[in-house]
Structure formats: C-alpha cells, structure tokens
Amino acid sequence: MEINWEQLRQVAAKASEKAYAPYSNYPVGAAAITDSGQIISGANVENASYGLTLCAECSLVSELFAKGGGKLVAFCCVDQEGAVIMPCGRCRQLLSEHAATGMMLETISGIKSIEEVIPDAFGPSDLQEN
Ligand code: THU
C-alpha cells in the first residue's frame, strides 16, 4: 500500500488546531490510515491535573473505535508547525495494541515499523492463558 505521508501530515496538522493544550502550549495532531482505508485523526487534550493529559494518540484511538474499529496501517503525529514528532513511549504502547502487523509510522529519523519503535512489545497475547 502506497502511503501519502504528505497528506497524512496535513491531516495531523489540521487536527492539532483542535488541541486543548493551555498548560504546555504544545498542540499535537495525530493522523492514521486504517485497514479499511479510513483516515482518522486526534489532538492532545490536557487537564489541570497535569498527569491526566490525553495525548493526541489517545484521541486518535478513540476516533478509531468511534468510526467502527479496525487496525492502523500508517500513522504520524506532528507539532503545531506541522513537523513530525516521535510518539511518546506510552503512546507507542497504545498504538501497538491497535496497529496492523508492520504498521508504518513517520518518525524524526524516517519511516519505521511499529515493531522497530517498540520491540518485543507487551500485548494481548501475553494475557492469554497457556
Ligand atoms: N503529546 C502528545 O500528544 N503525543 C506525544 O506522543 C507526545 C506528547 C502531548 C502531551 C502534552 O499535551 C504535550 O504534548 C506536551 O508534552
């Protein structure tokens, strides 16, 4: 599948305009393509109790389920200027649960697979009884 990364970055940048980031003043937008070809997005939503902040990836995963679920095949997130940023560690874990095998993401050091950015990820199979 050929991914239009420029388009995905633009969708993410547009989503960042909806961020609620009064504490960090660091709006983030995320965008992804699902295995059914839908493009979804999300933005960070902060909280006065700082630790409750929802990253843009959290909003995106909520949107994934709101739109019927599925798996993510391509992902990127950007800052307010539209520059690619690396998903935080917690969000790599979050994304890995909902990523199709080999999901590609744009990082600050190029296009990588989800498996490359969170190797040996803990996941649903770890909870299966033997
Ligand atoms: N942030 C995200 O939304 N995603 C990330 O992967 C990195 C960090 C947000 C959280 C917080 O609202 C702001 O960026 C500054 O840390």
pLDDT in tens, 29-38: 999 999 999 9
**Which ligand 1 atom lies nearest to the CA of residue 56?**
3
pLDDT in tens, 100-126: 999 999 999 999 999 999 999 999 999
pLDDT at 130: 60
**Residues in the ligand 1 pocket, defined by CB under 6 Å:** 21, 24, 26, 28, 44, 46, 53, 55-57, 77, 87-88, 91
All residue ranges of the chain with pLDDT < 50 are none
Q: What are the residues whose beta carbons fall under 8 Å from the beta carbon of 10, sequence distance 6 or more?
A: 82
pLDDT at 122: 98
Mutation pick for ligand 1 pocket among 18, 20, 53 (CB with most ligand atoms within 8 Å): 53
Tokens of 23: 């504490």
How far apart, in Å, are the Cα atoms of 50 and each of 22, 23, 73, 77, 101? 11, 8, 31, 21, 33
